[in-house]
Amino acid sequence: MARFLFSMALLAIALVAFAAEPAMSPAPAAPPIDAPANPLGKVADRPLYIDPVFNHPTDPVVAYNTQTKKWFMYYTQRRGDSIALIHGTKIGIAASADHGASWQYLGIADITYGQDQHPNDCTYWAPEVFSVGDIYHMFLAYVPGIFNDWNHPREIVHLTSKDGIKWDTVGKVDLKSDKVIDPAVEQLSNGTWRMFYKDEAKPNSLWYADSPDLAAWTVKGPAVTDRYGEGPNCIHWQGKYWLMADTDKPVGQAIWSSDDCTNWKPQASTLYGSHGDAVTNGDRAWWIYFGGQPVGTIDWAVLLTKPGEVMGMPMHAPATTSPTTSTAIGRGSSRNGLSINVVELKILNGELKFTNPSEPVRINLADEPKPKK
């Protein structure tokens, strides 16, 4: 009987102790396996990219790298905001493993063109990069030296690569001028390659040349005559060709559309940002650009979708401590540094529009974009 009473006492103590323990929270539900990602893509970083070396990235262009299964961004790695520091520049490379939402610095492109004569002071500007088959092609503006003004020779050169990092020289592109910069190449439906570029020696500076093979080029003349400009970019999207360029009027990017890539119709409203790259994925497209302009009273081609929404400017790069060797400020630059940003493009009533630069944007660059022929 004593043993029974002792056992019952122990049981009672155990029950009291159990009751005194705090109740355990239910285990959180495990996330679903292989939950589908947002089909619109991830929200892009804002700023999208800042060059960690000099804080002044400009002229971005993106191309898919099949070896790494990542997107590469190539850009002019400006050293600062003076004219002298806009010279002496290399081509930076950043990579994205999440369809363009975030970018990590890889280093500089391995380019040797012109360094036999200018081993320490050659200038590379505004790359155009795309792949044909298993070969990457780069068209690049080259300036032989570092200068404090814009009055020196420039040429466009053709390079190729097997990995998108180390580049071999094909040669200078003969465009019958020693003042050419800012190449942009588009392939027409008949297979012809068309290069748009700026010829600073001509009064109508946006010119174009054609090639059957990316080797021999024939200068055709001015692409447009209604505006003076530079930094062209051309895409074929939603059944039309679209040409964009930095121009003197209005500020920002002028926009033209065409059915044949020859006869261009100007659009009254303006695309935000400076020299950039429009990239498509099916029925979607994005504009990746550097810098930006004060909103002001410009007729922006902005697409506002929320009640009371007004256009704002994106966040830019933080202040830089880069040295300055000249007080002359370069085109499209800022003393507080520069950054690269992105907006999504839309077509509304036959015009190219862009989403609010100050609003989040989802981006989803293709895993395996359609290669050029």
Tell me which of 227 and 257 has the higher pLDDT.
257
If you average pLDDT over residues 86-111, what whole number do you get?
Answer: 98
Give 76's strand partners: 58, 91
Pick from 4-13, 98-107, 188-197, 255-264: least confident:
4-13
The full set of domains in the chain, from first to last, is 39-363 (2.115.10.20)
> Residue 263 burial (CB < 10 Å; 0-12/13-18/19+)?
exposed
H helix runs in the chain, sequence order: 2-20, 83-86
Mean pLDDT of 227-240: 95
Cβ atoms < 10 Å from Cβ of 32: 7
Q: Which of 185-194, 210-219, 234-243, 295-304 has the lowest mean pLDDT?
A: 295-304
CB atoms within 10 A of CB 160: 15
Q: Which has more pLDDT, 218 or 306?
A: 218
Model confidence at 372, pLDDT cuts 50, 70, 90, reads: low
DSSP string across 1-60: -HHHHHHHHHHHHHHHHHHHSPPPPPPPPPPPTTPPPPTT-EEPPSSSB--TTTS-EEEE
Question: What is the rounded distance in angstroms from the CA atom of residue 241 to the CA atom of residue 253?
Answer: 15
Residue 258, beta-bridge partner list: 241
Q: Residue 325 above 80 pLDDT? A: no
pLDDT surpasses 60 at 206: yes
Q: Average pLDDT in the 76-102 region?
A: 97
Per-residue pLDDT at 110 exceeds 70: yes
Summarize the confidence of residues 20-24 as an average pLDDT: 37
Residue type at position 106: L
Query: Per mean pLDDT, which range of 124-133, 208-217, 256-265, 318-327 is the poorest?
Result: 318-327
| Number of C-beta neighbours around residue 170 at 10 A | 16
Q: What is the pLDDT, as a whole number, of residue 251?
A: 83
